[in-house]
Copies of this chain bind each other. A is one copy, B any other.
Amino acid sequence: MISLKTANSGLCLTFGKLTVLQHGINNPCLSIGRGQGTYSMDRGNFTIEENLSEKIPLTEYEILEQKEERVIIRFSNQKLWAVIVEFIAKGNFLEVMFTDESSTKQNRLWIRMTAAHDEYIYGCGEQFSELNLRGKKVPLWVSEQGTGRNKKTYTTFQADTAGKGGGDWYTTYFPQPTFVSTARYFCHVEDSHYMEFDFRNPSYHELAIWGIPPKLVIGTAPTMLALLEQLTGYLGRQPELPDWAYDGVWLGLQGGTEIVLAKLKKAQEYGLKVTALWCQDWQGKRITSFGKQLMWNWQYDQNMYPDLPETIRRLNEKGVRFLGYINPYLAVEGHLFKEASEKGYLVKNKAGDDYLVVSTTFPFGTVDLTNPEAVEWIKNVIKQNMIGIGLSGWMADFAEYLPTDAVLFAGDAEELHNRWPALWAKANREAVEEAGKLGEVAFFTRSGYSGTSRYSTMMWAGDQMVDWSLDDGLPSVIPAALSLGYSGFGISHSDIGGYTSLFGVKRTKELFMRWAEHAAFTPIMRTHEGNRPDDCWQFDSDEETLLHFARMSKIYTKLKPYLKEAVKENALRGIPVMRHPYLHYEDDKELSTLKYQYLLGRDLLVAPVIEENKESWRVYLPQDTWVHLWTGQEYGKGYWEVPAALGFIPVFYRKSSPYRGLFEEIKEI
């Protein structure tokens, strides 16, 4: 029910118990304007500037219609600027539609939503540095997440000076104009222009949108869990994972059939549970200044993987799947580039030529995902060259690099830049479904936006530094997963050990082991050799690591029934597998800003050790009876310093859990 109060020439609109907007001549809830953005891209890193030519606060209003389920207000300023805002209540949803009726076409909208002093804000897609966004201004633009991501670190400085690649706390592959408030509402903007959500003001949240969004959706619910269920009902949820997914590690190997099979053999000899080999170089590779890089021509490399379909068949017989790699780009040297180019399936530049972009080191073309024929074509590549040869899944990488001045088959690149990841996920998903393989084949995406939660089957956290840094190392993958959960995406994991080894940063044995321990308590356990495998400690770099990793794989595999249920809950209700504990303990304010511990499903509380050289770790437990997984000791609410030697990540289960028996078996592994 919408209610509207007017007083002192001001206006207050509530939806149920939620105050949505407060408006007055000195605090107008809407402004409209015109501006021009410039987006300069350097390998997926964007510098965005605005030239704002007008910003008009819409101080006047006129109520055109006022019913319980529908309110229409015309906000205006003088005769020239006006926006019709239509509020429609549909159950727990409030839809807010905007129609610009200004005399000149406007392309900026600022919306001020009423904020409460004690509100915390989560979501905005995958946020690596912050979980609670109150007090922050959050730019929402799909991009590389950056190397270092903290302007105070030397790594970031080096990445910035080497190629503007340092990033910042908010840079992300997967932003989303969606936030969830502890005042038990969510807000989602149905638009994909560049936006900034400003949560710094004590009395309002200001959403600045570089376009006039057709719609904004607000949802309310009595609990945070119900709210997520409602949000994901609207945005779409991820399907369940294939059953094989949980049967061991997804082992990231490279180098061709011989090397890969030899490593698998050794791993299995040490007791490592392997459910899949993930060979990103299935389509060939190249050596560049960045490291070992892939070929980007989406068919199997007959030199490195001769008769790969046969190899896959044999592996499958032994219960091991084979996974590959793809992205929406085509390296210019490849036959697929030539074919796509000839057919006109590539994104064009203003001169009408194929728009060649450079990623780290080499140029590529971009499949035009707004062209239905091009989408069919790339889906066929996936169906024939990937599913067709027996791949059970793949990394569906990238999609952040669409230049805003690109010329598309349909639509405007500035507006579609943010949508590109969802279009990319949709193409992958449809290929899987059309091949009849949903539930058997899974792909994992890095980039995302609204729509990704409906199309992708899982996320991974992208390219972390192989270090302990809060903003770009092991710690960062935890808030990343939790903020994704708040944004409607509930299945994510990360490269065990991280990916980026640059500027002398190398993956250590301890980092690998701590990351592996964390990964054992996530939906998926997958390794990556990193961009410079020789600079990175690997699962098989020594015997101690192999044995440790094998034990972790057994623990993970043991959790299968528990994980499956959590994944099912995500598919049915949108409750993320890795979830912010606050979701189950809403009365516990202490939890609202803690971002480096999580619940895995309902009953496991995991507090990964994210610093070097620790023998114990400080955790916070909410009101419950918690049993320490490794010692069986019981704990209640509060902060506790618990033992945390290597191999014994702080994990607690709820004493009342139906999986208590299973959890008790873990300590024997």
Contact = CB atoms under 8 A, between A and B. Distances in A.
A157 interface: yes
Nearest to A153: B161
Interface in A22-71: 31, 33, 52-57
Interface in A298-337: none
Contacts of A79: 78
Interface residues of A, number: 18
A22 to B, nearest CB: 16
Given A151-B160, A157-B154, A57 B57 contact: no
A210 to B, nearest CB: 15
A77 B56 CA distance: 11
Interface in A149-196: 151-152, 154, 157, 160-161
Contacts of A56: 54-56
A669 interface: no
Contacts of A78: 77-80
Contacts of A152: 160-161
B31 A54 contact: yes
Contacts of A31: 53-54
Contact of A52 (B55, B77, B157): B55
A57 B52 contact: no
Interface in A120-154: 151-152, 154
Contacts of A161: 152
A421 B151 CA distance: 32
A154 B53 CA distance: 37
Contacts of A33: 55
A503 to B, nearest CB: 12
A27 to B, nearest CB: 9
Contact of A54 (B55, B154, B157, B160): B55
A78 to B, nearest CB: 4
Q: Which 4 pairs from chain A and chain B are nearest by CB?
A: A78-B78, A55-B55, A157-B157, A152-B161
Interface of A: 31, 33, 52-57, 77-80, 151-152, 154, 157, 160-161
14 contacts: A31-B53, A31-B54, A33-B55, A53-B55, A54-B55, A54-B56, A54-B57, A55-B55, A55-B56, A77-B80, A78-B78, A152-B160, A152-B161, A154-B157
Given A77-B80, A78-B80, A152-B161, 15 more contacts: A31-B53, A33-B55, A52-B55, A53-B57, A54-B55, A54-B56, A54-B57, A55-B55, A55-B56, A56-B56, A77-B78, A78-B79, A151-B160, A152-B160, A157-B157
